[in-house]
């Protein structure tokens, strides 16, 4: 497993959080919409603020659903790789907590009841396992 493969789920979850934040901003903006009846004619292709916000909300929700599907798929693929490449229970547990559940090093160390320094060492060992596996192939 390369560092890029290990961080794929984390990147997707970051994008999901960004989309959820944007969606929340759009929903707040939609609450502040006040109808204006000015009686002026409008161009046929001009989109109102309400339409733009509504479309933005729909697009954001669709993207979040797509990202969630990609996250599940990436987690499954990563779990298969972790299971096949890591034989040590400590490395396996660390990889699952850090790269599938996307916990920070600090939270991972706390859950495993190890020091933060030891967590960094486990991370190095995981990457070394990948390099060793490639050299054997």
72 vs 9, 43, 107, 112, 137, CA distance in Å?
Answer: 9, 44, 22, 24, 29
Residue 124: inside a domain:
yes
Residue 39: inside a domain:
no
Q: In the chain, what is the straight-line distance between the N-terminal and C-terminal CA atoms, in Å? A: 14
**Residues spanned by the domain of 96:** 3-32+49-136
Residue 77: inside a domain:
yes
Query: Quick one: which of 95, 92, 108, 78 has its CA closest to 9?
Result: 78
Q: Name the pTM for this structure.
A: 0.76
CA gap 9, 99 in Å, rounded:
7
Residue 25: inside a domain:
yes
If pLDDT is split at 50, 70 and 90, which confidence band does 99 have? very high
- Whole-number pLDDT of residue 121: 95
- Whole-number pLDDT of residue 5: 85
Residue 14: inside a domain:
yes
Structure tokens at 52: 């733009």
- Whole-number pLDDT of residue 45: 55
Residue 41: inside a domain:
no
pLDDT, tens only, 6-60: 889 999 999 999 999 999 999 988 887 766 666 666 655 546 777 888 899 999 9
Residue 40: inside a domain:
no
Please, which residues have CB within 8 angstroms of residue 56's CB and are 6 or more apart in sequence? 26
Residue 19: inside a domain:
yes
105-112 and 116-136 helices, crossing angle to 10°: 100
What total number of domains does the chain contain? 1
- Whole-number pLDDT of residue 36: 61
- Whole-number pLDDT of residue 46: 47
CA gap 104, 110 in Å, rounded:
10
């Amino acid at each position: 497993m390369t560092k890029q493969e290990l961080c794929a789920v984390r990147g997707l979850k970051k994008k999901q959080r960004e989309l959820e934040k944007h969606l929340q901003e759009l929903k707040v903006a939609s609450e502040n919409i006040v109808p204006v009846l000015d009686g002026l004619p409008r161009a046929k292709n001009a989109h109102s603020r309400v339409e733009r916000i509504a479309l933005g909300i729909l697009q954001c929700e669709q993207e979040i659903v797509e990202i969630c599907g990609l996250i599940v798929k990436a987690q499954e693929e990563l779990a298969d790789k972790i299971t096949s490449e890591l034989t040590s229970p400590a490395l396996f547990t660390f990889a699952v907590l850090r790269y599938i559940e996307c916990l920070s090093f600090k939270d991972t160390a706390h859950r495993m009841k190890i020091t933060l320094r030891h967590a960094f060492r486990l991370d190095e060992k995981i990457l070394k396992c990948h390099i060793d596996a490639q050299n054997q192939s």
